[in-house]
Amino acid sequence: MTSHLNDSLPPSVLQLDEDGKNWLLFSLKFHMIVCGKGLWDHFNGTSLCPVLTDKDMKKSPLPMTPTTSESVSTAGPAEPKKPKKIKPPVGTKAEIHEWDQNEQIAYLLLAQRLPDMVFIITEHLEMACECWEAITQEFTYQSAVNQTEMHAHFLDSKCPKDGNV
C-alpha cells in the first residue's frame, strides 16, 4: 500500500445528485479516479485489514476492522446474502495502521461527493465497500426508474397535427 498525499477528488468528479440522475457519470469518473489513487480494492471488498499473529496479539491487541465479505449470490433476489468468512492476511502493526489509514481515505473520497442526506444514511456503515455497495444498489435502481420514466415520456411525445418534424 502506498501513502496518499492528495486526499481529495478533482473537480471533474461532480457531486452525486440526490435523485441519482448523474449516477452513471459519477460512478464512472469516481471509479477511474479511485483506481488511479490505488484505492479501488477498498471499494470492491478485496482489501482486507491484516491481522496480527497470535504471538503479536498477546503482546498488544489492536481493535480490528471487520474481516467478512459479502458473498455474491447467483440465486434470485429473494435469497439473502450470507457473510462469507475470508481469512485476512497476517501483517504487522504498521501494515494494519496503513490499511486503516487507506480505508479512511477511501471513505473520505466517497463522502466528499455524496449529498448530505445520502451521507447521513450511510454514515453507520463501517467499511468503504459496504457504503459503496449500498449506494450502488440504491442509485442503480433509481437510474433504471429514471430511464423508464424518460422512455415513457418520449413515447408519449407527439408531433402536433400538421406540424413540421
Q: Is the pLDDT of residue 56 over 80?
A: no
On whether residue 18 sits in a domain, the answer given is no
In the chain, the percentage of residues whose pLDDT exceeds 90 is: 38
- Does residue 129 contact residue 10 with C-beta atoms inside 8 Å? no
What pLDDT, on a 0 to 100 scale, did the predictor assign at position 75? 39
Question: In angstroms, rounded to a whole number, what is the distance separating the alpha carbons of residues 139 and 17?
Answer: 10
**83, β-bridge pairs:** 70
In a domain, 158, yes or no: no
| Dihedral sign for Cα atoms in the order 33, 36, 37, 41 | positive
Q: Is 5 within the bounds of a domain?
A: no
Helix axes 93-111, 23-36, angle to 10 degrees: 150
Contacts 24+ apart (CB under 8 A), 62-68: 62/93, 62/96, 65/99, 65/100, 65/103, 65/126, 65/127, 66/126, 66/127
Residue 95 lies in a domain: yes
What's the rounded mean pLDDT across residues 88-103? 90
Q: Mind listing the pLDDT tens digit for each residue in 124-160?
A: 999 999 999 999 988 887 777 677 777 777 777 877 7
Is residue 160 domain-resident? Answer: no
pLDDT of residue 148: 76
**50 domain residue, yes or no:** yes
Q: How many domains does the chain have?
A: 1
Taken in order 129, 131, 132, 133, the sign of the CA dihedral is positive
Residue 4 lies inside a defined structural domain of this protein: no
pLDDT of the residue at 98: 94
State the Cα–Cα distance between residues 37 and 49, nearest whole angstrom. Answer: 18
Task: Show Cβ contacts of residue 2 under 8 Å, excluding neighbours closer than 6 positions.
Answer: 38
Average pLDDT in the chain: 79
Q: Global pTM? A: 0.67
pLDDT of residue 5: 53
For the stretch 19-37, pLDDT in tens is 888 998 999 999 999 999 9
pLDDT above 90: residue 102: yes
For 105, list phi and psi in degrees, rounded to 5.
-65, -45
* Residue 3, in any domain of the structure: no
**Structural domain containing residue 89:** 23-72+80-144
